[in-house]
Amino acid sequence: MLRTRPPGLVAAPGEQGGPFLLPPTLLRTVCQTPSMTSETITADASGTWKLGDLPVHRLGFGAMRLTGSAAFHHGTPSDRDRSIAVLRKAVELGVNHIDTAAFYFSALRSANELINTALSPYPDDLVIVTKVGPHRDYSGEWATSARPDQLRGHVEENLRQLGRDHLDVVNLRRMRQDSIAEHFGALAELREAGLIRHLGVSDVEVRHLDEALAIAPVVCVQNRWGLDSADPATGELVRVCGERGIAFVPFFAVAGDAGALGATGNHDEEVLAVARAHDAGAAQIRLAWTLHQGPHVLAIPGTGNPDHLAENVAAGAIRLTEDELTRLDALRTSAG
């Protein structure tokens, strides 16, 4: 498996100094990476970005898969000690951006509780991003999404589970409503009250982002997006976020069409060929492609497997050539 940062390379696929300060040609670094064990790679190889005033490495960690063999009620509950070990290993590998939610739980495990147990007292540089809007009842069934007046309760639930007095970043997950103004406005009030430091939005279009920005600053956008996705609207959102200095944080970048069930096993031959050229895995190439889409694009792959964790972090050191990026980009064109 791949993998080290090329000697003398200071910036990863892009480090923040403002919105798109690097020319597009420099965002796609052309170099090869000598082979080393993934254990030597840390998250700083992926570069950095700021969520508001909070610097994070561009390769983060998604907590959805901590609770079981698949997300939510799918699969079987995870081994508690192993999940705690994965979280601690992530921090050892330099991960300082963890994405979670109160509705990330299985029959026996809660992602927020696992994070609290494994990492509290929290490192000073650790940024925990959560989201509100969707709701699952105590049996795990999806229930009616939150009304604006219920969002405070959702925020407070995350605070209790994580053992925090404020949340670093809270994303409003749009639940099919045409306008997010009322919901986002309710979160903006909680930000003013000191319960939330920064706000983001999820599953939105550019018009929803504009709607939110008219109310309060937005530091990140989370949408489903990846090598398998050729949705023009999301592609436009990625571009707009870059122009405005807003982080774009795709989910299911590795899972692909498998979604909440886990990483896809359906890899195009082109992905496998690029993986062989870098002595890497297909999932690593998917992550590397994601990070090459702009310095504002972050990745939050999730896993409950410590070996997969190290491989995911190591993907931040892969440098794809222009030819490889062109070949991979063609897959998205054919997907559309």
Strands 196-202 and 167-173, by their bridges, are parallel
Please, what sign has the CA dihedral across residues 139, 143, 148, 149?
A: negative
Is residue 104 flagged as an active site residue?
A: yes
Residue 150 tokens, joined: 């219920």
Q: Tell the burial category of 322 from Cβ atoms under 10 Å away from its Cβ (0-12, 13-18, 19+).
A: exposed
- Return the ∠ at Cα 15 (arms to 14 and 21), rounded to 5°: 80
Residue 18 tokens, joined: 């403002």
- Return the ∠ at Cα 295 (arms to 47 and 13), rounded to 5°: 55
Q: Which residues 6+ apart lie within 8 Å of 97 measured at CB?
A: 51, 56, 57, 60, 61, 127, 129, 298, 300
CB under 8 A, 24+ apart: contacts of 48-51:
48/15, 48/16, 49/15, 49/16, 49/247, 49/295, 49/296, 49/298, 50/16, 51/97, 51/127, 51/129, 51/168, 51/169, 51/198, 51/200, 51/219, 51/220, 51/247
Query: Which one from 72, 104, 105, 251 is the annotated catalytic residue?
Result: 104
Q: What is the DSSP letter of 299?
A: B
Give DSSP secondary structure letters for 192-209: HTTSEEEEEEES--HHHH
Q: With contact defined as beta carbons under 8 Å apart, do 58 and 21 qualify? A: no
Catalytic sites, residue numbers: 104
